[in-house]
Amino acid sequence: MTALDLTLLLALAVSLGLCAWLWARRQPVVIRTVPPPAPAPDQLEALQQPVFLAAADGIDAGVVVVDLARRVRFLNHQVETLLEVGPRPLGQGLIAMLRDHQADALVAESLGDGEPRELALKPIASGRTLRLRCTPLSPGGQVSGALLLIHDVTQISMLERARRDLVANVSHELRTPLASLRLLVETVQSEPPPAITHRMLGQMAQEIDAVTQLVDELHELAQIESGRVTLKLSPTPLLPVVERAIERIRPQAERKQISILAEIHAEQHLALIDADRIGQVLLNLLHNAVKFTLEGGAVVVRAALVTCESPAGGPACDQPGDGDWIQVSVSDTGIGIPSQDLPRIFERFYKVDRARTRHVGGTGLGLAIAKHLVEGHSGRLWADSAEGRGSTFSFTLPVA
């Protein structure tokens, strides 16, 4: 062994010894990871609590929890139904789910200042009206996310609009006769010749009748709509009901030389009806038929049995319940109804042409009342018409 070999051996031994010493003193290797920004632990825990999950699922509202970055951390099933979106992955931005910048900005503001906020949402896809309430979550005194509650308020806002429309319509309908009455009173006060005074008093009586009719029909509609009208149903032959209604309208028809005919082909069948109420429906349809038919025209009342079998076609069968129905129709040769107005004539206060109907009178409530009454019998009321050629109003009644 040379001196060089000896030196090399010594160096190797020293290195191995050094390595062994270093190995013995080694430190565990730590790989540090940066935790993802997540909601505060207590908030996350709350999202997993069975009570919270059960409440969120059972509540009649959409529930969404977002973190500070407005990422969705929780949502219940109702959210998908209300917003009409498919299943949403957690962690997605709120804006991708709501598709409403105003709502997203509102949540950002609430997260910024810790104040709750509310907003109405109208998702285009669903056509619903939603109310979104955002409540910031600040478990440790510091805002770490927000709870969003989404309620469907479509029904409430429709009722609210109907109420506003009703008030507007009633005041509009009252304004015209009241203005006319004021003018007539002022003229009578100026002491015109007796013949003019007499005529004006007659006009005043007519205006008072119009207002009285409006108030009566409004009251009637309110009673029906609130369910306070109970139908006294009993098996009834239809012919006497039709004849009574025709007799009541005949004087008016004769004044315009309008003929009225009845063709009843369901005599052997009894209808399960409240005879007074169906008489009222018929009278209303006959009254309109005479009112909107020119002198020398004709009105025909028909009744016949129709049998509906699922899936049966035809408007008479477009209702729940197969089987036999008595279909009654009132046809006239009058002015008819333009096709664009036809779907709306059963709405309260709807009149085809206010200028045209002003001199013939009417409240625009008669058909709305008739429709309620027929539907109260489980039947259906509809209209067919050709402008300038006439109209047919038909309804179905259950067979006893």
Binding site for ligand ADP (CB under 6 A): 284, 288-289, 292, 332, 334-337, 345, 350-352, 357, 362-368, 391
Between 105 and 294, name the residue whose CB sits nearer to ligand ADP. Answer: 294
Pick 351 or 377: Cβ nearer ligand ADP: 351
Distant-in-sequence contacts of 150-158, Cβ < 8 A, 24+ apart = 150/61, 150/62, 150/63, 150/64, 150/78, 150/79, 150/82, 150/83, 150/121, 151/60, 151/61, 151/62, 152/61, 152/82, 152/128, 153/120, 153/129, 154/127, 154/128, 154/129, 154/130, 157/129
Within 67-137, residue ranges assigned H as helices are 77-83, 94-98, 101-113
Toward ligand ADP, which CB reaches closer, 154 or 180?
180
CA gap 200, 229 in Å, rounded: 38
Closer CB to ligand ADP, 63 or 224, in the complex:
224
Minimum Å gap between C-beta 273 and ligand ADP is 20
CB of 297 to ligand ADP, least distance (A): 11
Q: Give the integer Cα–Cα distance in Å for 133 and 66.
A: 13
- How far is it, in rounded angstroms, from Cα 25 to Cα 179? 106
Minimum CB separation of residue 209 from ligand ADP in Å reads: 13
Distance of CA 314 to the CA centre of its chain: 26
- The residue among 29 and 355 lying less far from ligand ADP, judged by its C-beta, is 355
* Nearest residue (CB) to ligand ADP, 39 versus 390: 390
What are the DSSP calls for 327-355, one per residue?
EEEEEE-SS---TTTGGGTTSTT--S-HH
Tell me the sheet residues that pair with 8. none
- Give the shortest CB-227-to-ligand ADP separation in angstroms: 21
**327 close to 394: Cβ distance less than 8 angstroms:** yes
Supply the minimum distance, in Å, between the C-beta of residue 345 and ligand ADP. Answer: 4
Side chain identity at residue 339, one-letter code: S
Task: Tell the smallest beta-carbon distance from residue 163 to ligand ADP (Å).
Answer: 20
Are the beta carbons of 274 and 231 closer than 8 angstroms?
A: yes
Closer to ligand ADP at the Cβ: 232 or 359? 359
Task: Report residue 9 as tokens.
Answer: 């051996």
Q: How far is the CB of 334 from ligand ADP (least distance, A)?
A: 5
Residue whose C-beta lies closest to ligand ADP: 362
